[in-house]
């Protein structure tokens, strides 16, 4: 019930922006709300699975949660790509919005429901790395799906590969965050984000040059 209360408190004010923004800003805000809604849904599904499974909380967070979250985060961006056929810039923007929206609700729920008090450094690391990491993982899936759409032969293997990468990275992140080395999560996330961003920029530059020729 707490997660639903947090969801309503955060989402309703953001929904008001839909009546103010227009065009691209409105659609990006909509995907932020979709990310919040996805987190709510994942929280309910994960809670149900945890009650049904005979395992520790740490094992569940490190091994089951990443599978549930990455699959459900991928569904909205999957539908967006295959229905509306957007360009790469729009795909990355919407994927990032979903990931950040997801991270906002997850961070609020985590901070207010843990029994132990977090230090300021821990809270900043959680907020920064969580937002970047969820956005980064969704961008990986969105970026991969944009190429899979052009080559339908890779549909199954490509989709599974993109999700496997996101799930594996998410599992590593969750394992580290439950140790005293939680600050490493932020460093790893920043390094991954910079690396992938440079790869995407370079790839788009090559595509642009090829189109001009």
Share of the chain residues as helix, strand and coil, in percent rounded to the nearest 5:
85, 0, 15
Distances (CA, A) of 87 to 67, 75, 99, 156, 208: 27, 18, 19, 22, 13
Sorting pLDDT into bands at 50, 70 and 90, what band is 37?
very high
Q: Provide the pLDDT for residue 102.
A: 93
CA angle (180 as vertex; 68, 73 as ends), nearest 5: 20
Sorting pLDDT into bands at 50, 70 and 90, what band is 114?
low
- In the block, residue with structure tokens 């460093």: 187
Provide the whole-model pTM.
Answer: 0.84
Q: How far apart are CA 70 and CA 76, in angstroms?
A: 11
Helices 88-113 & 183-212 angle (0-180, nearest 10): 170
% the chain with pLDDT above 90: 30
Q: Provide the pLDDT for residue 54.
A: 85
Report the chain's mean pLDDT, rounded to a whole number.
82
Q: How far apart are CA 112 and CA 140, in angstroms?
A: 29
Per-residue tokens: 98 = 């979903």
Per-residue tokens: 130 = 């969580």
Contact present, 95 and 79 (Cβ < 8 Å): no
Between residues 33 and 121, which one has the greater pLDDT? 33
Contacts of 200 (CB under 8 A, 6+ apart): 88, 92, 143
Q: Provide the pLDDT for residue 204.
A: 61
CA angle (147 as vertex; 141, 148 as ends), nearest 5: 80
**pLDDT tens readout for residues 170-205:** 888 888 777 776 667 777 777 777 776 676 666 665
**pLDDT tens readout for residues 55-96:** 888 899 889 999 999 999 999 999 998 888 888 888 888 998
């Amino acid at each position: 019930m707490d997660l639903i209360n947090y969801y309503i408190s955060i989402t309703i004010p953001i929904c008001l922006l839909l009546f103010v923004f227009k065009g691209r800003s409105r659609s990006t805000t909509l995907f932020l709300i979709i990310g919040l809604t996805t987190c709510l849904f994942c929280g309910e599904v994960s809670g149900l699975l945890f009650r049904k499974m005979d395992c520790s909380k740490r094992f569940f967070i490190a091994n089951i949660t990443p599978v549930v979250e990455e699959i459900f985060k991928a569904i909205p961006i999957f539908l967006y790509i295959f229905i509306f056929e957007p360009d790469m810039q729009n795909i990355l923007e919407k994927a990032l919005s979903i990931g950040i929206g997801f991270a906002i609700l997850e961070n609020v729920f985590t901070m207010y429901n843990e029994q132990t008090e977090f230090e300021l450094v821990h809270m900043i690391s959680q907020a920064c790395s969580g937002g970047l990491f969820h956005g980064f993982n969704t961008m990986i899936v969105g970026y991969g799906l944009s190429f899979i759409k052009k080559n339908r032969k890779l549909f199954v293997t490509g989709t599974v590969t993109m999700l496997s990468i996101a799930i594996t990275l998410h599992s590593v992140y969750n394992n580290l965050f439950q140790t005293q080395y939680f600050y490493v999560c932020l460093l790893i996330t920043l390094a991954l984000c910079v690396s992938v961003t440079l790869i995407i920029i370079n790839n788009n530059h090559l595509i642009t040059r090829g189109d001009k020729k």
